[in-house]
A and B are shown apart, each in its own frame.
Chain A
Amino acid sequence: MNEQANVEYRIAHLKERLAAEELGELGIRVEARGSSVAVVGTVPSSHCREELLRTVHEELAGQTVHFDVVVAGSAAPDHPEEVV
């Protein structure tokens, strides 16, 4: 199997694991970009973020991974929207 195909299957397996394990995470984007992998999205808590990073590093060991993962905001809004 060539390297590109191998990375894609590793990403697919990572996504399956993220959904199946503790996080139950389906909302994170994991994409091959050139020779690296980008992990992008929002998680519900800082514990989830740590767990996500740990799982990604484990599953994609040896790959260059760029993270852009934030914890969901939990502040009250400072203004309403006038809808109709």
Chain B
Amino acid sequence: MIRVAAVGDIHMGADSQGLLRPAFETLHDCADLLLLAGDLTRHGTPDEARVVAREVADLPVPVIAVLGNHDHHEERPEEVTAVLRDAGVQVLEGQSTVVEVDGARVGVAGTKGFGGGFVGRSGSEFGEPLMKEFIRYTRRCAEGLRASLEELAEQGCDTRVALTHFAPVPDTLAGEPLEIYPFLGSYLLAEAVDAAGADLAVHGHAHAGTEHGMTSGGVPVRNVAQPVIRKAFNVYHLRGHGHEGAAAVAASADRRA
């Protein structure tokens, strides 16, 4: 069993130091890794990133993050990323990483993602250059997520998790005004997850949303925005099935047929 701790939208600033650290120090008892689902800062300044870095430095579990839109606001995402990486955080953008847990390989693929909306209610690559670029940017994020998840499968990961800031499904936006759904996520992210396969998709961004959702392909989705989970993090237990497990499931299905 793999124990995944996750939280997003912690929005740390100068007044935040120490707020989450006591809870994070309990991670060695309850989790194998900690995922940070973006919006770690308020404005994306290096100073705010240093608050986050100190909060998660030297934790007893690997810390893996994606950035969020707030972490881009000052237009210094490379500096924010560097500060976090110096503190040992793996920051993913169209990339993946593998964590070994008791001999099992746990893969995390991450991208910030972007908006655009959901099937039947989405923007499209049409019209003004800005509008086309809006959707193309989301598509590039989704393609990076898909390629990263596929890499993890090729590397024989027993468990794969998709980590984004923007939402892949509308389920976990319930509670947000319908009018802003296209700014909260995109079906392109879910399509990437379903095409490549994953055991869990984790995102943040939607503070007024709900925790639980699922992609069309049946991948569980969890909105871990701190205002949603109302805790320092949540812990999800996954039973990785890997390739052998997937083959066994397929064989079992064959026997039933």
Interface of A toward B, CB cutoff 8 Å: 22-27, 29, 41-42, 44-45, 47-48, 72-77, 80-84
B232 touches A83 (CB 8 A): no
The 8 Å CB contact of A80, one of B23, B26, B235, is: B235
**Which residue of chain A has the shortest Cβ distance to B219 in the bound complex?**
A84
Residue of A26, A75, A77, A82 with most chain B CB atoms under a 10 A cut-off: A77
Within 8 A of A (CB), among B196-236: 199-200, 207-208, 220, 222, 226-227, 229-236
Bound complex: CA A31 to CA B8 (Å) = 25
A sample of 13 more A-B contacts (CB under 8 A), given A41-B207, A75-B232, A80-B235, is A24-B70, A42-B207, A42-B226, A45-B13, A45-B16, A48-B13, A72-B227, A76-B26, A77-B233, A81-B235, A81-B236, A81-B237, A82-B237
A44 touches B12 (CB 8 A): yes
Bound complex: CA A8 to CA B19 (Å) = 35
Decide if the interface of chain A is mainly helix, strand, loop or mixed. Answer: loop
A29 touches B200 (CB 8 A): no
B227 touches A83 (CB 8 A): no
Q: Does B98 contact A (CB under 8 A)?
A: no
Bound complex: CA A42 to CA B175 (Å) = 13
A73 touches B226 (CB 8 A): yes
> Which chain B positions have C-beta within 8 A of A83?
199-200, 220, 222, 236-238
B15 touches A72 (CB 8 A): no
Bound complex: CA A45 to CA B42 (Å) = 12
Q: Does B121 contact A (CB under 8 A)?
A: no
A80 touches B232 (CB 8 A): no
Residue of A22, A25, A26, A73 with most chain B CB atoms under a 10 A cut-off: A26
What is the count of residue pairs linking A and B with beta-carbon distances less than 8 angstroms? 93
Bound complex: CA A23 to CA B43 (Å) = 8
Bound complex: CA A24 to CA B13 (Å) = 10
Bound complex: CA A26 to CA B220 (Å) = 27
CB distance from B174 to the nearest CB of A (A): 15
Bound complex: CA A26 to CA B173 (Å) = 15
B227 touches A42 (CB 8 A): yes
B232 touches A73 (CB 8 A): yes
The 8 Å CB contact of B15, one of A24, A41, A42, A48, is: A48
CB distance from A53 to the nearest CB of B (A): 15
The 8 Å CB contact of B13, one of A42, A44, A80, A82, is: A44
CB distance from B222 to the nearest CB of A (A): 8
Bound complex: CA A39 to CA B218 (Å) = 36
Bound complex: CA A45 to CA B15 (Å) = 7
> Which chain B positions have C-beta within 8 A of A22?
13, 42
B30 touches A80 (CB 8 A): yes
A73 touches B231 (CB 8 A): yes
Bound complex: CA A78 to CA B42 (Å) = 28
Q: Does B11 contact A (CB under 8 A)?
A: yes
